[in-house]
Amino acid sequence: MRSIASLLGVLGVVCVLFGLTCYVIALFGIVTDPVWIFGNLAIGLVLLITAGVLNFDALRERMSSGETRRAGKYGTSALLSTVLVIAILGMLGYLASRYPKRFDWSDAQVHSLSSQSVNVLNALERDVEVVALFNPLDVAPVKELLERYAYESPRFKIVEIADPNARPDLLQRFEIAPEQIGQGAVRLASGEESTLLQELTEEKLTNAMIQLSRTEVKKVYFVEGHNERAIEGEAGQGKEGFARAADALRNENYAVEELLLASQGQVPSDANAVIVAGATRPLLRQEHTALRDYLEGGGALLVLLEPQVQTDLVEMIAEWGIEAGDDVVVDRGLALFGRATTPFAGQYDPVHAITKDLRETTLFHMVRSVRVADESAGEFQEIVYTGDSSWAERNLERFFSEGSAEFDGDDLKGPVPIAVAGELRFASEDPEGDAAAETESSGGRLVVFGDADFASNELIEAYRNRDLFLNTVNWLLGDIEAISVRPNRSRASRFQPTAEQFQRIHSLSLLVLPQAIAILGGIVWWSRRNPSGR
């Protein structure tokens, strides 16, 4: 009977200790089932009382002997040591909650915010208040993402995370219709402006903050009429279309429209940037004049060229010192699935704002070289290069007729520059009116790429193409603070449990398994002390 009492006593101590430990953990905000806490305490006390009753005579004998004093001395020392350790752990937990520090040791930093999100948070001039309405089972991943933002900036304030079924008053206060909730919703408010997200991802949350923080909506025009890549209609939705590129700009809070330049004779006054995406037919003389006047007036122009197309844009940019080669870049060493005319570019200008944050590759298809040939017309830089093993094949007749390409002395050896960016300089008359005396004035911004496919629907989501395109437009518009590496559309593989699954894993790893091990250890200890009881 005495041996059974000792086993019950050990099991009772284990249950009580785990109940108290879980209670302390719950005080620091870690979700713990109250049934587990009070169930352990109740079972532990019952076991201890039962052990005491069964072993009452032995306890009375020990109390009257010197062994009790020795046990009390060592027991008191052990108790004080335990209390001290718990106090230290509690203090560390308090400091951790008061002064939090996050670490992300994953290879692709999948648990950290992108540089774009961090830049947007750091640039906030007003508080952004967030109310999240989600089913309790879906709260865990929502809370985890929102806390990443709150950790980066004190201006990102999580006001409340609530169950919309339990808090209809919130729906009424914020004028949210029940059908707008769906699987959940997040309301962001800054000053008098607010927006509602019905799908919570880092990309959508960051874009929503951009829209709230930008008071001015800048306009980007896509020129049409020369077989450029379309942004609307069936052609815009095709694999060569630019519908996704246009949507990406709209997500950055830019207005996007098509522009039939020949019908207006000049670039509209509200144009903050103009894009000529893959024109294959010549522009009219009036259209050339309109683009020149626009750049001289401080405008911003993005020209996306294609190899071997019948356009006079090559001659136009040559006037500003930029040479678009009559060639096709070939790379047998660093290309998509060995397709030599679909090269990767992973070398960038480390200083220019467009590319200084880019570290990963971008992908191009049938791209021509673009170089700075004359620096007198402006301050231009070559910003994107293909690989070391690439070259610009200039024997296009053999290339297109026979499908073969071999590097020779006439070709341009890699790394081949395929994009140029910079600001124009124009000569103007002296302000005193002396026509003979000319001064140099700064013109608009110009970026030229030797490919349009990299921003097409088919390739814009590949690698860092989307970042390169958006960073280019950001720079043209003067939104330098918006240039960044954005959240990945396809993140590194990881297990995304539901709230219920997460709670099960949490309970098993933090509560059930440690206590099961402790109970098993107690049984093993008891069986060794009482071999006859086995």
Q: Which two tokens stand for residue 242?
A: 């630019």
Cis peptide before 415 (omega within 30 of 0): yes
Q: Alpha-carbon distance 380 to 422, whole Å?
A: 4
pLDDT tens for residues 78-114?
A: 667 777 877 787 787 667 666 666 666 555 555 678 7
Do 289 and 397 fall within a single domain?
yes
461: CATH: 3.40.50.880
Do 313 and 298 fall within a single domain?
yes
Do 169 and 186 fall within a single domain?
yes
pLDDT tens for residues 8-31?
A: 778 888 888 888 877 777 766 565
Could you tell me if residue 488 is inside a domain?
Answer: no
Distances (CA, A) of 192 to 161, 170, 261, 326: 21, 18, 38, 54
Q: Alpha-carbon distance 52 to 215, whole Å?
A: 74
Range of the domain at 131: 115-210
Do 297 and 428 fall within a single domain?
yes
Q: Alpha-carbon distance 24 to 86, whole Å?
A: 9
Q: Alpha-carbon distance 483 to 477, whole Å?
A: 11
CA angle 196, 200, 204 (to 5 degrees): 75
Quickly list H helices, 380-442. Answer: 396-402
Q: How far is C-alpha 328 from the chain's CA centre? A: 34
Distances (CA, A) of 400 to 226, 412, 414, 491: 24, 18, 21, 38
Mean predicted confidence (pLDDT) in 301-325: 91
Do 186 and 256 fall within a single domain?
no
The H or E element containing residue 502 is helix 499-507
Could you tell me if residue 18 is inside a domain?
Answer: yes
Do 137 and 199 fall within a single domain?
yes
Q: Is the pLDDT of residue 433 over 80?
A: no
Beta-bridge partners for 426: 441
pLDDT band of residue 412 (cuts 50, 70, 90) is very high
Mean predicted confidence (pLDDT) in 286-300: 91
Least confident range of 56-60, 223-227, 325-329, 418-422: 56-60
Do 235 and 267 fall within a single domain?
yes
Mean predicted confidence (pLDDT) in 105-124: 73
Q: Is the pLDDT of residue 5 over 80?
A: no
Q: Alpha-carbon distance 420 to 427, whole Å?
A: 22
Could you tell me if residue 109 is inside a domain?
Answer: no
Under 8 Å between Cβ of 122 and 153: yes
Pairing between β-strand 219-223 and β-strand 255-259 as defined by DSSP bridges = parallel
* Contacts of 513 by beta carbon, 8 Å cutoff, 6+ apart: none
Q: Alpha-carbon distance 43 to 18, whole Å?
A: 11
Could you tell me if residue 323 is inside a domain?
Answer: yes
Q: Which of 210, 243, 274 is at the close of a domain? A: 210
Q: Alpha-carbon distance 22 to 319, whole Å?
A: 74
Do 141 and 223 fall within a single domain?
no
The tally of domains found in the chain comes to 3
pLDDT tens for residues 167-205?
A: 888 888 888 888 888 788 999 998 888 888 888 888 888
List, edge to edge, every strand of the sheet that includes 185-190: 156-162, 128-133, 185-190, 193-197
Under 8 Å between Cβ of 296 and 445: no
Under 8 Å between Cβ of 7 and 56: no
Q: Is the pLDDT of residue 452 over 50?
A: yes
| Residue 529 half-sphere exposure toward CB, CA atoms < 13 A | 13
Q: Alpha-carbon distance 163 to 322, whole Å?
A: 59
Could you tell me if residue 490 is inside a domain?
Answer: no
Do 434 and 344 fall within a single domain?
yes
Q: What are phi and psi of 475, to 5 degrees?
A: -65, -40
Least confident range of 108-117, 298-307, 361-370: 108-117
Contacts of 117-122 with C-beta under 8 Å, sequence gap 24+, read 117/149, 117/152, 117/202, 117/205, 117/206, 117/487, 118/152, 119/481, 119/482, 119/484, 120/206, 120/209, 120/210, 120/213, 120/482, 121/149, 121/152, 121/153, 121/155, 121/156, 121/209, 122/152, 122/153
Could you tell me if residue 495 is inside a domain?
Answer: no
pLDDT tens for residues 134-175?
A: 988 888 889 889 988 998 889 999 999 999 888 888 888 888
Could you tell me if residue 107 is inside a domain?
Answer: no
Under 8 Å between Cβ of 518 and 525: no
Do 359 and 472 fall within a single domain?
yes
Q: Which of 155, 183, 210 is at the close of a domain? A: 210
Do 265 and 373 fall within a single domain?
yes
Burial of residue 251 (number of CB atoms within 10 Å: 0-12, 13-18, 19+): middle
Do 206 and 223 fall within a single domain?
no
Q: Alpha-carbon distance 24 to 471, whole Å?
A: 49
195: CATH: 3.40.30.10
| Residue 144 half-sphere exposure toward CB, CA atoms < 13 A | 14
Q: Which of 186, 210, 234 is at the close of a domain? A: 210
> Amino acid identity, residue 466?
R
> The pTM is what?
0.64
Q: How far is C-alpha 181 from the chain's CA centre? A: 24
Could you tell me if residue 259 is inside a domain?
Answer: yes
pLDDT tens for residues 239-292?
A: 999 999 999 999 888 999 999 998 888 999 999 999 999 999 999 999 999 999
pLDDT band of residue 490 (cuts 50, 70, 90) is very low
